[in-house]
Structures are given as C-alpha cells and as structure tokens.
C-alpha cells in the first residue's frame, strides 16, 4: 500500500519516542511505504519542545512516556505553539486510558504499538493525509467499565510509575511533586480503580493490558 499525499499539502513529520528501534521503524514505514523523506526524530520531552520552538511541523507522532518524563505534561504547551498541529499517539497503552484526557487538545489519532505493520501503515497513512479517523465515524465507545478510563494526566503519570514498582518518594522526585501530593494521587487512583494497594492495582492493570 502506498499513500499519495495531496500536492497542496506540505507535510513535515516529527517522531518523538524514546526507543531507537521504534523511531527507525516508523521512519522506514513513512519513507518506504508512504513516500515521505526528511523525517525528524527526538527522544526526550526537552528535545521535543526545543524542536517545535525552532522549526515548523505539520504532524507529530508521539509516545506518551519519553526518556525524561511524560509527554502529557508538555502537550498543553505543544497545543499552544501549534493550534493546528496534527498529533498521533503511538503507545502500548490501551487507547481508552488517554482518550478523555487528550480530548481537550484535539488529538484524534491513536495507534497501538502492538498493531501489525499493515495496520500501522494504514493508520499512519490516514494521519498524514488528514483523513478522518475511523473511530470518529463509529458510535461512541462504551468505556465506562474500563477502570483506567478518564484519569487526569497527573494520575496517569503516577500510575505509570506505580506499575513499575516505584516508591512514593521516587515518584515525587521524578515528577517534581511533594510526597503528600503523590500520596493523594495514589489514593485517588485506588479509589477510581477500586483497588486497596499497589499489588491489586498491578493485577488489575495486567488484566486490562495497562503498564
């Protein structure tokens, strides 16, 4: 499959992912199958913001967790810089984890890292040609039964590190939060997911393929 970009569309793509093989694989897919070259790669939030502040891009493929933190923290700043920038979230996490949190920032495209090459090509092709995502044509997903749906960005950040087994003090230092704030966010996560401790939270996350 080869996607032909419209002649009047100037497409400049930035890939932000902290895994080198993922970035290179995406770049090959875009250049080899979609026909775009000159794709730029970054792997940290700081590099991402520096790149967007110095150069102009039309499309951004973004992993949620980069090597120096969560992209959720910089998405508001990205949207302020680029009101019309098309953003695709490329993540191992289930889409329902992020949909509601990202809705205010007009992010319409999501691709799972578990998708096969053909499906990834098809979805990225839709993204680069600004086609309406298939999910927008379907009925609203019933995600109320998904225990991790609708979490605010800060709770998702803390959840990510809890599932890695990090202690409260480690999370606080990494996210530049107070220990009491992290403890409060942990309590909200337990309440939202109806779990009593980190072990139960990890078991629930494993059932729903959240990590």
User: 10 Å Cβ neighbour count for 168?
Assistant: 18
| Range(s) of the domain holding residue 118 | 13-137
The closest of 150, 26, 35, 8 to 88, measured between CA atoms, is 26
Residue 83 and residue 184 in one domain: no
| Alpha helical stretches, state H, 98-197 | 99-102, 117-128, 134-137, 153-162, 168-175, 179-193
Residue 40 and residue 126 in one domain: yes
146 lies in some domain: no
Distance CA 89, CA 169 (A): 29
Residue 18 and residue 52 in one domain: yes
Q: What is the DSSP letter of 103?
A: G
Q: What would the two tokens of residue 164 be?
A: 């890695």
Q: What is the DSSP letter of 133?
A: P
| Residue at a domain's end among 75, 107, 137 | 137
Residue 35 and residue 91 in one domain: yes
Q: Residue 48 burial by CB count (10 A; 0-12/13-18/19+): exposed, middle or buried? A: buried
Residue 179 and residue 111 in one domain: no
Residue 94 and residue 171 in one domain: no
Cβ neighbours of residue 144 closer than 8 Å, sequence gap 6 or more: none
Residue 170 and residue 70 in one domain: no
147 lies in some domain: no
Q: What is the pLDDT of residue 34?
A: 66
48 lies in some domain: yes
For the chain, list residues with pLDDT below 50.
1-8, 136-144
CATH number, domain containing residue 17: 3.40.50.2300
Residue 115 and residue 174 in one domain: no
Q: What is the pLDDT of residue 153?
A: 80
Residue 133 and residue 184 in one domain: no
Sole residue written with tokens 């499906």: 119
Query: Do 15 and 23 form a contact (C-beta atoms < 8 A)?
Result: yes
pTM of the model: 0.68
Residue 29 and residue 129 in one domain: yes
Residue 86 and residue 171 in one domain: no
Total count of residues recorded for the chain = 211
CATH number, domain containing residue 186: 1.10.10.10
Q: What is the pLDDT of residue 135?
A: 54
Domain count along the chain: 2
Q: What is the pLDDT of residue 104?
A: 80
């Amino acid at each position: 499959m080869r996607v032909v970009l419209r002649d009047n569309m100037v497409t400049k793509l930035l890939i932000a992912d902290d895994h080198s093989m993922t970035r290179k694989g995406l770049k090959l897919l875009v250049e080899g199958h979609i026909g775009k070259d000159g794709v730029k790669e970054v792997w940290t939030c700081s590099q991402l913001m520096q790149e967007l502040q110095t150069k102009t891009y039309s499309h951004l493929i973004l992993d949620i967790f980069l090597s120096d933190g969560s992209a959720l923290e910089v998405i508001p700043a990205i949207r302020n810089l680029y009101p019309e920038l098309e953003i695709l979230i490329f993540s191992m996490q289930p889409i329902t984890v992020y949909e509601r949190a990202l809705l205010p920032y007009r992010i319409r495209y999501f691709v799972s890292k578990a998708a096969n090459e053909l499906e990834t090509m098809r979805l990225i092709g839709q993204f680069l040609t600004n086609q309406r995502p298939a999910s927008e044509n379907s009925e609203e997903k019933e995600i109320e039964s998904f225990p991790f749906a609708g979490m605010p960005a800060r709770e998702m950040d803390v959840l990510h590190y809890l599932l890695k087994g990090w202690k409260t003090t480690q999370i606080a230092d990494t996210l530049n939060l107070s220990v009491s704030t992290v403890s409060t966010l942990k309590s909200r996560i337990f309440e939202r997911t109806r779990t009593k401790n980190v072990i139960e939270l990890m078991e629930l996350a494993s059932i729903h393929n959240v990590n």
